[in-house]
């Protein structure tokens, strides 16, 4: 099975048991994740620019924490096909993240 990006650990140290967590996107100001009684104690939420993280932003954040991936080659090949579709996205960040990720996957498969 292909191994992508060997883990970074001290010489002779134990392998990491779980990948690092990727933080969730911040909630827009005024958004309450708690219980709501129908009344707001603060000002109403104001429209804020593009607060929702795009697929490209999410993928880029996950790639920053990537240390090691061990998967069957068929799964990696399927991901390669799906990433190829993302190359046509309207979002430039999605296109860039898809191209970078697809390049790493194809290199692991020996297709680069």
* Residue 2 contacts residue 72 (beta carbons within 8 Å): no
Candidate from 29-33, 56-60, 86-90, 98-102 with smallest mean pLDDT: 29-33
**pTM (global) more than 0.75:** no
pLDDT digits (tens, 9 = 90+) for 20-39: 555 555 554 554 544 444 44
Q: Find all residues with CB under 8 Å of 101, minimum gap 6, and list them.
A: 59, 63, 83
Q: Which of 25, 19, 21, 18 is nearest to 56 (CA)?
A: 25
Nearest to 8 by CA among 51, 64, 81: 64
Question: Hey, CA dihedral for 86, 88, 89, 94, is it positive or negative?
Answer: positive
- The yes-or-no verdict on residue 10 having pLDDT over 70 is no
Is residue 103 pLDDT above 60, yes or no? yes
Indicate if the pLDDT at residue 97 is higher than 70.
yes
């Amino acid at each position: 099975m292909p191994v992508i990006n060997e883990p970074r650990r001290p010489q002779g140290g134990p392998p990491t048991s779980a990948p690092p967590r990727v933080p969730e996107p911040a909630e827009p100001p005024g958004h309450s994740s708690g219980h709501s009684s129908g009344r707001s104690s603060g000002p109403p939420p104001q429209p804020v620019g593009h607060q929702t993280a795009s697929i490209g932003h999410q993928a880029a954040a996950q790639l920053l924490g990537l240390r090691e991936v061990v998967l069957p080659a068929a799964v990696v090949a399927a991901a390669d096909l799906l990433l190829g579709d993302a190359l046509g996205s309207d979002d430039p960040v999605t296109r860039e993240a898809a191209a970078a990720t697809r390049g790493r996957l194809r290199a692991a498969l020996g297709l680069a």
